[in-house]
Every structure is written in C-alpha cells, then in structure tokens.
Chains A and B, each alone.
Chain A
Amino acid sequence: MIQIRDLCHTFSIGKRGKEKRVPVLKNVSLEIEKGQIVSIVGKSGSGKSTLLHVLAGFMKPESGSIQVANQETALLSESEHAAFRLNHFGFIFQNFQLMPGLTAFENIELPLKLKGVPKKERQINVEALVKKVGITQVADHYPNELSGGQQQRVSIARALVTNSPIILADEPTGSLDSETEQEILLLIQSLNESLGLTFVIITHDDEVANIAHRKYRLHDGALVNGGVLHVV
C-alpha cells in the first residue's frame, strides 16, 4: 500500500545566510501493507511528525521515494497532492482540527463537499458515519459544544467519510484523558477490522502504539534497527 524508500529531509535553522542544516529524516525506508495498523513511535524531535507530513504531501522530501497505491507521490505538484489526499488519505489530528463555524455534521460533510458529492448522497453518508462513531445526539453541535472525545470522533468520521483507504493519525489521543483514549483506540481497531482500513499512527505513547500490527521507532531521524520493531 505504502512504500517509502531512502527518504531524507533536512531543515534549515537560523538566520538567513547563517543557516544551519539539521537532518530530520535519514534514509528512512519502510513498507505498510493494506489493512494494517502501523504505528511510528519516537521521542519529540525524532522526526516522526515530519515523516507523516512528508507522507501526506504537506512538504516535499529532499530525496527518496514515496509510493502510495502504486503512485509516486513525492513528485506531485501542490494541486495534484491535494486531489490525491482527498481520494487516498483521511486525517486524524491531535487537536482535532475541526472548523469552529461548522456543526459536527457539517465538519464531517466538508470533504464530501470538496469532492463535489451531491447533497443527498452526502446526507446519507454522513448520517451513517455519525451513527457509526456514536455522535448522533450531538451532530448539530458546534465543536466548542463538544467534549474532547466527541470532537475526536467527529474528526475520525471526517477522515472516513470519503472512503479513503489510508488514515493518517497524528497523536490521535494526545489531547484525551485515559478513558476516552481507550474508547478512541477501540474505535480505530474496530474500523480497521470492519472496513479494512490502513492506519498510520504517529505517537509517543506506547499504549497507543501497541494497538498496531507493526511498530516502527524513529530516533534522530532514522529507524531504529533499520526497520520493524515489533510485529503483532
């Protein structure tokens, strides 16, 4: 599903003319199979978020190749990447990243609007998802009227609504209490099992990482032991 080969990326830090180049990804190579939950763990500054950003196309890697669903994405233009994201990726963010001016229902509906899906179809899809993630009672609430767990459920529903095969999750339980964290992790697992979705989870929390089928650890931009740390 996803093949990353020799991925390198460097940040320039400091004033212009006196920049210091800091390597954040060093020859990272990994493979993620369809229907797997894969976690990438590491300490702060280990490069795990950068890896996710490069994989999502938020930034271009310095070198290396990324293949998603047999398509080389590292060379796509910004517009092409946007279209690719819309069709292949769903996102779950630590801070939920919901639109404050839209209700839970409208937030979930947004990617479908971007895709140009007709209103009736949108309504059916979103209603089904609202039920699936368990937020029927609060679908017409605005994000600031929802709890953290409810907001993350909305965020998950938004990631699922376009039927994207890959869900990229950046610290999905980072802002939640332990009880809600468990609920969300169970939801992710059940979605993985029922829909066969591929999850790539970036986390520093071992408990979260442990739900994965495969676990990679990044240290100073490089994969520890050059690859898979743990296979369930």
Chain B
Amino acid sequence: MSFRDQIDFIRQHMKKNKLRVFMTVLAATMGCAFLIVLASVGFGLHKTMTDEMMSNQLLTEVRIFGREDGDSQITTADQQKMSELENVKAVVSRSYVDGVTSISMNDRTGQGDVQLTNLKEEEKANLALSEGEMPTKPNEIVIGYHFAQKLLTEAETELASQSEDEIPTGYTESMIGKTISLELTPLTEEKSDPKVWDFVVTGVAKEPAKDWMMDLRVLIDESYRTEFQEFTQPEVPAEESYFEVYVYADDIQHVGAITDTLKNDGYNVYSITEEMETMDLFFTALKAGLLFVGTIAVLISSIGIFNTMTISVTERTREIGVMKAIGANPKLIQRLFLIESTWIGVLGTIIAVTLSYGISYLANWIIPEIVMNIVAEEGMEDISVTISLIPWQLVAIASFISIGVAMISGWRPARKATKIDVIQALRQEL
C-alpha cells in the first residue's frame, strides 16, 4: 500500500470519528502547549538576566585587580605581556587621582570622575564618542556624556541646594575645544595649596546604554599619573601607585580563554563570562526541571491517545480482520495505527506550538505591564523583561517529546491490532 493510500485510509477513519479525534488532539495540544509555555518561562527569565548583565557591562572586558599573591603590583611589562596574548584587542590601565579634585570652566565649577588612562588603548577597547575626536596631545581629554550637565554656575548651585525639584541644566553648549581647569588638592593632614592643570576637551563619550547611568568621567592621559602623584603623594614612588587593568578580548567567545590564561599567570581576574557561566548553569538546571514537569503533562495527555487508539482498534476489529483476510500484511496494519497516533501527536504539536507563541506574546505584553505598575520604581521602565521566550530549540525538544510520546502511546494498540485473529474478527456482527 502506497504511503499516500495509507494516509487517505487513516484520514477517512479519522473523519468518521471527528469528535473523538478532536478531543484527543486537544489533549495532545494542551500537554504540549503546557510543556512549551512552562519551559519558555525558564528561557525568558534566562534571557532577561543575560540581557541585563550584558547591558550593564562590556562583555569582552576582563578586569584584573592585581596578583593573587597580593604583594606585587601589575607592571608595565605585565601589561605588555597581556597585550601580546592571543585575541586580546586592548589593555587599558585606569587609576584615580589621590586628592581632592575640582573642575572649573570660566564661571562654572563641577565634580567629575577623574581617571588617568591610556586613551589610545581606550579607543581600541571601544570608547565611542558622541561628539569630537580622540585626543592626540597629552593635554587633550575626553569627557563623559553627562559631565557638562554638572558644570554649574554659583547661582545654579545655590538653586539646586535650595530645592530638590529644581534640577539645573548645567552647560548645554558643545564642550569641544573648551578648556577646563583641574584643581588638585593633596589629601594631607597639613593644609596644602592646590595646583591647577588646564586641559582641552576634544571628545565627548557616547551616551550610556541605560537612562539611569550617569557618565561623569574625565579621561586624562596616563602620562600625568607621575606628575599628579608627585604632587599629592611625593613620598610614594610613582611606579607603586595603584591602578586597575582591563583587558579587552576581540570577541566574546575568546573571553573565557583569556580569563583562564590570566588566572594561570597568577592574576586576580573577573570577567562577566565567569558570572554568566554560573548563571547559565542555574538556568540550565531550571529549564531542565521545567521541561521535566512539562513532560509529565504530555504523558498525562498520552493516556488520551492510548485510550483513543485502543477504542479504535476494538471498534475496527472486524475491519482489521477483513483486511488481514484479503491479504493485508500485519506490519501494514501496525503501521496504519502508528501513523494515526503519530498524526494525532503531530497535529497536537503544531497547534500547541502556534498556541504557545500566542500565549508567550501575551505573557510578554501583559505581565511586565502588571509588574511595572505594582513595582512602579523610577528607572524600571528602562528594564526590558522577557517573561517567556520560545527558541527553536525548545520547539524541537517539545515536538520530539510530544510526537515521541504519541507514537509510544499508539504502539501497544497497534500491536494489538496485528494480533487480531482473522476468524474471530470475521465472526463479529456488523
């Protein structure tokens, strides 16, 4: 019997028992949809957490806090070695100024996050500018996107201190080409006079990805490190000053290997991949658990398929007997019933997948709205929450389980059909 004829034969039979087949398909659909939707929550939350981590930190960044022995500092030679590692794009060392800093521009003053860094390496490490260009001379600097907003006149400072509602706009014009003065006062017990350095702003960093992030950085070339330290801490040799080193990989997939190499070399290292590995492990376990619970639902629905197929075999005993009598191979009879149960599984799975995508869409639309309304905290609107996510892998797993269970459910009734005794079957009354 050709496959097409087999399908026609099954379709004819299914048409005769529309209601029963519909109810069985419904049970298979519900089981499979439950499995997909349940597991999709695991996938959705995993995505939300990953996105949140990825948006807060550069994924290709590996932070080095020093050596594991705690004594020795990271030297320039160490940095050179790091930059020679395979797949390393840039090595940036950043340090903060030991002393009280105040920045002024004409009649405006403000506070910034003054960092000494290698601007060429920063550029390689993806320091993107929203305006201007990267410095070419030591006295040229890059400022953070929000820095100009914190440069206030005396009147604005007073206004801000009087009322919390009044937020001064700061300097609103372009900072490119403007000269700012950095006043540095050493942190010593005796009162000492401040010293002033002038810098020209050549670039403004790009706006941070998150609305709640404020970028107040003032990135000064690291060649000033010695000069600043000699002024603020003349007793400490410049090479012993503390700084953090950031290694940037050329691609996220190399971060793990670079992290391992640096760890083996005896550095205290942190990278997002480490945190993500732990998180991935947790979510993998969660997803496996949800799939397991969902599979139980599929198994329950399989009872329906088993029942339907058993009734179908019993009802069609005489027909099966006639088919066997006129020459149908028992394997063909078995195949017909297996195809029927598989078809129920396939139909249920197709409807379940479609339904699950609908439910997932609704869940992602409605639940975050409800949660946001309940929590109603400032800045929350910036967080994108994915409650349910159905990747193709989940569809593949769920389909495999659902169709597989449907086939297994049909197996015993199909075997029973092949065992039907022709003589007994032909004796059955119509």
Contacts and interface: CB of A to CB of B under 8 A. Distances in A.
A91 interface: yes
A114 B319 contact: no
Contacts of B426: 93, 95, 97
Interface string A46-83: 00000001001011000000000000000000110011
Interface in A89-107: 89, 91, 93, 95, 97-102
Interface string B1-24: 110010001001100100000000
Given A93-B426, A113-B1, A82 B322 contact: no
Interface string A164-198: 00000000000000000000000000000000000
Contact of A85 (B9, B319, B327, B330): B327
B332 interface: yes
A101 B1 CA distance: 18
B67 interface: no
Given A58-B422, A114-B332, A116-B2, A158 B326 contact: yes
Given A82-B327, A82-B330, A95 B430 contact: yes
Contact of B13 (A59, A83, A86, A101): A101
Contacts of B430: 95, 100
A78 B329 CA distance: 8
Contacts of B329: 79, 82-83
Contact of A86 (B319, B327, B422): B327
B313 to A, nearest CB: 15
A113 B330 contact: no
A149 interface: no
Nearest to B16: A101
A101 B16 CA distance: 8
A114 B326 contact: yes
Contacts of A87: 327
Contacts of A115: 327
B423 A53 contact: yes
Contacts of A113: 1-2, 5, 9
Nearest to A90: B326
Given A82-B330, A113-B1, A59 B423 contact: yes
A158 B322 CA distance: 12
B322 A56 contact: no
B104 to A, nearest CB: 93
Interface in B303-350: 318-319, 321-332
Nearest to A59: B423
Interface in B226-257: none
A110 interface: yes
A44 to B, nearest CB: 14
A58 B328 contact: no
Nearest to A85: B327
B5 A101 contact: no
Best-buried of B325, B327, B331, B423 by chain A (most CB within 10 Å): B327
B13 A82 contact: no
A158 B323 CA distance: 12
A111 B325 contact: no
A89 B389 CA distance: 59
A58 to B, nearest CB: 4
B326 A56 contact: no
A95 B1 CA distance: 25
Contacts of B331: 79
Given A95-B430, A99-B319, A116-B2, A111 B422 contact: no
Nearest to A56: B325
12 contacts: A53-B423, A58-B325, A79-B330, A79-B331, A82-B328, A85-B326, A85-B327, A86-B327, A100-B319, A102-B12, A114-B327, A116-B1
Interface of A: 53, 56, 58-59, 78-79, 82-83, 85-87, 89, 91, 93, 95, 97-102, 110-111, 113-116, 158, 162
Sorted nearest first, the 3 A-B pairs with minimum C-beta distance are A86-B327, A85-B327, A58-B422
